Structure 1
Amino acid sequence: MMGNLKRRTMMLPYILFTVYLLQCKFLVLAILDPVDFLALQSIRKSLNDLPGSNFFASWDFTSDPCNFAGVYCDGDRVLALNLGDPRAGSAGLIGRLDPAIGKLSALAEFSIVPGRVFGYLPQSLSELKNLRFLAISRNYLTGQIPAGLDQLRSLRTLDLSYNQLSGWIPPSIGSLPELSNVILCHNHFTGSVPRFISQSLTRLDLKRNNLSGSLSPFSLPSSIQYLSLSWNRLSGPVDRLLSRLDHLNFLDLSLNQFTGPIPGRIFTFPITNLQLERNLFSGPVEPIDQVTISTVDISHNRLYGEISPRFSTVQNLYLNNNRFTGQVPASFVDKLLAASIQILYLQHNYLTGIEINPTADIPVSSSLCLQYNCMVPPVQTPCPLKAGNEKTRPTAQCVEWKG
């Protein structure tokens, strides 16, 4: 009897230690808020690794979810959720996005790497009032942007690019006060471009959609630095709008139906690549100063008048397929022969001459195309295949345009 009591007394420290370990284990499991814990479980059930990915290998719900790959906590709440291996070229995830994402009420950042996540964006995203960063790019999302996203008053970055989203871009999205980056390119959006009020907006990328309608002079804030609206069906004049956006360092409005003049002031902006080709811009083009933009493409429009010598400092200049007339400025020839101009496309205009020696040695690094103008090209240079084979424009067209 006394022996058993002695043994029990000796075992007591070990029993207490075991209980302590068990308590510690349950404390570890209880670190995360139960609502967030269940939300992560639901999200995990709806997504899987694509072959070659092992992102979810660490998602063992018998341990602390705050140690899972892509999960970042602040205290007992999930603050950021970055799903998938972020390494370039790695396999992504497949499945749907569970509405339980809306239960992570403290979430400030949510992203999914490129993969095969499909289905609709959950309406419950609108419940994430603290969300500042939302990026689900290069997946297979369909349907519309939930209208309730206008409740995300803290949202700064919205990137849903390279999906299959459709419908209108909710006008209320433009009313979000903190937006700085909106990237919705390569989808199937229709309707008009909403008016954006955020004075923090620096990047707007809506290229490769089916957007239509016109842009008012005050539809975009002057803070924008990167603007891409190419490959849509947008129309109307933009000269007053562009004159306001003097912080632009990238502009691509190509392949639309914009009309009216191109403001001369835009050529003074700190832009490296100006893409305005394949629109319906018309009128003369007169930069207010020497152009320092390295690439200017205003081809395939309805621009006319003489070519300004202020374009001679452009490295890659596309003026082809317009209605320019007169002589090619002599400064263009000087810059071309000095290899300062690498591409000079002047084909398909109504130009009447260029002062260049037929035996001039054009640098190998430079390309000049003059065909289909109102002159016989004095030098034979290779032109793009799309320029056709005809060297000169029919005389009747030249007389008619001149008259």
Structure 2
Amino acid sequence: MEEPPLARKVLVILLQMMLLVDIASSDLHPTDLAALRNLRSNLEDMPGSCFFSTWNFELDPCHFFMGVICDLIQGEKRVTVLNLGTGYAGVPGLAGKLSSSLGDLAFLKQLTIAPGMVAGGIPKSLGKLSELRFVGISRNRLSGRIPESLAGLINLEILDLSKNKLTGSIPKGLGKIPNLVAVTLSDNNLYGPMPSFSGRIAHLDLARNNLRGSLPPLSHTLQFLSLQRNNLAGGLGSLIPLQSLAYIDLCFNQFTGRVPQEVFDLKLSGLYLQHNKLSGSIAPTGPVQIKTIDLSYNSLSGKLPPFLATAQILYLNNNRFSGTVPLAYLDSLLSTYLEILYLQHNYLTDFEVHSDVSLPTSGSLCIQYNCMVPPTQSTCPLKSGKQVSRPRYQCIHS
């Protein structure tokens, strides 16, 4: 005999309740479950965000919580990935503080927090997570020091704490983590000396802080180096062994001395050394294979080396270069390979370009305020000033 409709509905409800029991949050290891509860109690959605709408602790976090991924480890469910915040463009992130219970997620491999207003310090307990490989907490309001305990994350590969309000010095131990490949600590308030980074480091971005002291020895595996807008000083000798470098940005510091000729032998996409206190002549041993070179606003002197004409964008302005501009620069401009050539505010005496020679409109040449009358083809940015040539008395004693 067919079951009455009411009986069927009751049976369906019972089956659903049994299913919920099977996937209840008790399936997750109790330590991890408690850590998630503490984490949730310290964080909240900013207006317009709905990240925590799925965090119903009557259900299994491993199946229903946004941003939580679990693996079966030693026969138990453990949290291995924690991505807090949706990360969608235009969606506000989270606010609140990080709970020290993060350190109880013993098998966590990845921790990310979407851009938002998460404030307070980085829990020291994070240093207990020996399985952690990726930490990305950028564009929030973290403050205080980077815990020394993070140096104990022996499996850590990527660390991104950029665009926060972190202070204090960078723990020396960070540079000794053996598997660390990429470190981004830019746009904070970090100060003190820059530690040496060894091991497998390939990407190092400490830009826009207040680091002081000299450039330490760095790993030969380094490919990307950005230290712009700090207060680093001393010479650039530490760059010589770094033959894997593909990008160098050390602008707006206090570096002194010569630019090592070995740097010009590298195949770089960019070499940015502007606004330092570099001096002496520059002497590449052959045509450079660097797309953009910016050596402006230093005290470099001597004659312009023709080998720099193989760059595509070249800023040599506001230095003490003298003599005639090599014909190689004009040839490169005419061929449209050299797109930008800025030579203004030096002590150059001649640039052999005939008045009937028309430079390509795609290029840009600025050579005003030197010891000569610039060619009519010279067009300069407004910040170069209105004076066409240097006063004669400056050129006599240059």
Shorter chain as normaliser: what TM range? over 0.9
CA distance in 2, matches of 1:342, 1:207: 27
Q: State the partner residue of 1:215.
A: 215
Counterpart residue identity of residue 364, structure 1: T
Q: State the partner residue of 2:347.
A: 350
Q: State the partner residue of 2:45.
A: 49
Q: Does 1:279 align with 2:276?
A: yes
Q: State the partner residue of 1:159.
A: 160
CA distance in 2, matches of 1:18, 1:363: 80
More off after superposition, 255-264 vs 89-98:
89-98
Q: State the partner residue of 1:391.
A: 388
Contact 2:291 2:311 in 1 (8 A): yes
Alignment of 1:1-400 (within 5 A): 22=18, 25=21, 28-67=24-63, 68-75=65-72, 76-198=77-199, 200-216=200-216, 219-238=217-236, 240-400=237-397
> What is the CA distance between 1:358 and its match in structure 2?
2.2
CA distance in 2, matches of 1:161, 1:280: 27
Alignment CA distance shift 1:365-1:27 (3 Å)? closer
Counterpart residue identity of residue 164, structure 2: N
Contact 2:349 2:371 in 1 (8 A): yes
> What is the CA distance between 1:124 and its match in structure 2?
1.3
CA distance in 2, matches of 1:99, 1:358: 72
CA distance in 2, matches of 1:122, 1:39: 13
CA RMSD across the alignment: 1.9
Alignment CA distance shift 1:20-1:325 (3 Å)? closer
* 1:127-152 residue CA offsets vs partner (Å, 9 max, x unmatched): 21211111100001111101111111
Counterpart residue identity of residue 211, structure 1: L
3-state DSSP of counterpart to 2:62? helix
Alignment CA distance shift 1:59-1:377 (3 Å)? same
* 1:370-391 residue CA offsets vs partner (Å, 9 max, x unmatched): 1111111132532112211111
CA distance in 1, matches of 2:50, 2:159: 27
CA distance in 2, matches of 1:360, 1:24: 82
> What is the CA distance between 1:197 and its match in structure 2?
2.2
More off after superposition, 280-289 vs 160-169:
280-289
* 1:317-343 residue CA offsets vs partner (Å, 9 max, x unmatched): 000011111100111112212322211
CA distance in 2, matches of 1:95, 1:128: 22
Contact 1:299 1:319 in 2 (8 A): yes
Counterpart residue identity of residue 31, structure 1: D
> What is the CA distance between 1:233 and its match in structure 2?
0.4
Contact 2:43 2:95 in 1 (8 A): yes
CA distance in 2, matches of 1:109, 1:299: 42
CA distance in 2, matches of 1:20, 1:85: 29
Contact 1:289 1:310 in 2 (8 A): yes
CA distance in 2, matches of 1:62, 1:81: 19
3-state DSSP of counterpart to 1:244? coil
User: How many residues are matched?
Assistant: 384
> What is the CA distance between 1:353 and its match in structure 2?
0.2
TM-score, scaled relative to structure 1? 0.91
Q: Which has the larger radius of gyration?
A: 1
TM-score, scaled relative to structure 2? 0.93
Q: State the partner residue of 2:3.
A: none
3-state DSSP of counterpart to 1:30? helix
CA distance in 1, matches of 2:351, 2:23: 83
More off after superposition, 150-159 vs 82-91:
82-91
Counterpart residue identity of residue 385, structure 1: L
Runs of 4 or more, structure 1, over 4 Å off, are 17-24
CA distance in 2, matches of 1:48, 1:190: 31
CA distance in 2, matches of 1:19, 1:342: 72
> What is the CA distance between 1:19 and its match in structure 2?
9.6
3-state DSSP of counterpart to 2:240? helix
Contact 2:106 2:130 in 1 (8 A): yes
3-state DSSP of counterpart to 1:278? coil
Counterpart residue identity of residue 299, structure 2: R
More off after superposition, 245-254 vs 259-268:
259-268
CA distance in 2, matches of 1:88, 1:356: 51
3-state DSSP of counterpart to 2:186? coil
CA distance in 2, matches of 1:87, 1:108: 22
Contact 1:359 1:379 in 2 (8 A): no
Contact 2:358 2:377 in 1 (8 A): no
Percent of residue pairs identical: 45
> What is the CA distance between 1:18 and its match in structure 2?
5.2
> What is the CA distance between 1:28 and its match in structure 2?
3.3
CA distance in 2, matches of 1:241, 1:340: 31
Q: State the partner residue of 1:7.
A: none
